[in-house]
Amino acid sequence: MQKQETLTKNQKIILDLIEKSDQPLKAYSILFDVKKKGINAPLQVYRALNKLVKIGKIHKIESRNAFIACKNSKCQIAKATVFSICESCEDVTEIHDHTLSEHLRDFKDNKGMKYNKYNLEFFGLCKKCI
Amino acid sequence: MQKQETLTKNQKIILDLIEKSDQPLKAYSILFDVKKKGINAPLQVYRALNKLVKIGKIHKIESRNAFIACKNSKCQIAKATVFSICESCEDVTEIHDHTLSEHLRDFKDNKGMKYNKYNLEFFGLCKKCI
DNA sequence: TAACGCTGTGTAATAATATAACATATTTAA
DNA sequence: TTAAATATGTTATATTATTACACAGCGTTA
């Protein structure tokens, strides 16, 4: 069993908000939404986001500067993420594909680099937007 | 044979600079360097960068907001990029691995999404930094 | 228990990254 | 040779993210 992290007040407020959304949220839109809960400054948001990313509760969609909740209970550490992104409607989905994950996990380059993490983003058009 | 793009003055200046660096450059560091060549505003840099990304001459390292020249002559379109990033020294290398590329190219999710592009970033420690 | 390290908070200021809007010029293609 | 498309130059501004500082809470440990 993995140790269950105890979240602080700010971290909980922000995680709640992100978990309620099925799409990625941007830091300043989060800030706007949590102002009524007493979180007033960007840094308070970024600090919580960084922590939540670190413990794997959320992931950052790098190409969009946005944050999405991790739906995969096994994903306790944010070390291996795959997303699909629709370039038309911007819908983002986390992908869990065993075969793909294995290939990525097992990948070795020829430079002797030691990987501990990867992030993969697929871009295209979703069913609705094709 | 792929059509050879004709680059404009600004695009050439900026591509030259990026190609001379073996590491990713950031937009504002590029701006600083090209001021002596008459490029004065961020937008001039971003416009050239966007074009160069589009035609596959450079790639954006999303997690670093930085731009690196594409060393792969086949890579005429920026549609499939794989990088390794050292989290200690920030060294970035473009990876060309045939097997990996095939897996990524052939990947199908179960949502019927049509992909035209992906970006994969591996993070870890390079040989020197281990 | 007192001192310390660690993590988190709150606030203000500012840095770094990126785009909007507008007027004009140049190139491409019908 | 004109229209469409692409690029330029400039100013202003929007968006994303961090630095710096003062302090609070908590567990360890000496």
- In the DSSP assignment, the letter for residue A108 is -
Distance between CA atoms of residues A86 and A91, nearest Å: 5
Cβ(B95)–Cβ(B122) under 8 Å?
Answer: yes
Q: For B129, which residue in chain A has the nearest alpha carbon?
A: A113
pLDDT, tens digit, 9 for 90 and up, residues A100-128: 999 999 999 988 999 999 999 999 999 99
Q: For A104, which residue in chain B has the nearest alpha carbon?
A: B100
| Residue–nucleotide distance: A8 CA to D25 C1' (Å) | 12
Q: Is the CB of A123 under 7 A from strand D?
A: no
- Give domain B9-124's CATH number out of 1.10.10.10, 1.10.630.10, 3.30.1490.190, 3.20.20.70: 1.10.10.10
| Residue–nucleotide distance: A28 CA to D14 C1' (Å) | 12
> What is the pLDDT, as a whole number, of residue B108?
93
Q: Which two tokens stand for residue B46?
A: 């971003």
- Tell me yes or no: is domain A9-129 CATH 3.40.50.10440: no
> What is the pLDDT, as a whole number, of residue A130?
83
pLDDT, tens digit, 9 for 90 and up, residues B62-77: 999 999 999 876 655 5
Q: Would you call B32 exposed, middle or buried from its count of C-beta atoms within 10 A (0-12, 13-18, 19+)?
A: exposed
pLDDT, tens digit, 9 for 90 and up, residues A9-60: 999 999 999 999 999 999 999 999 999 999 999 999 999 999 999 999 999 9
**Boundaries of every domain in chain B:** 9-124
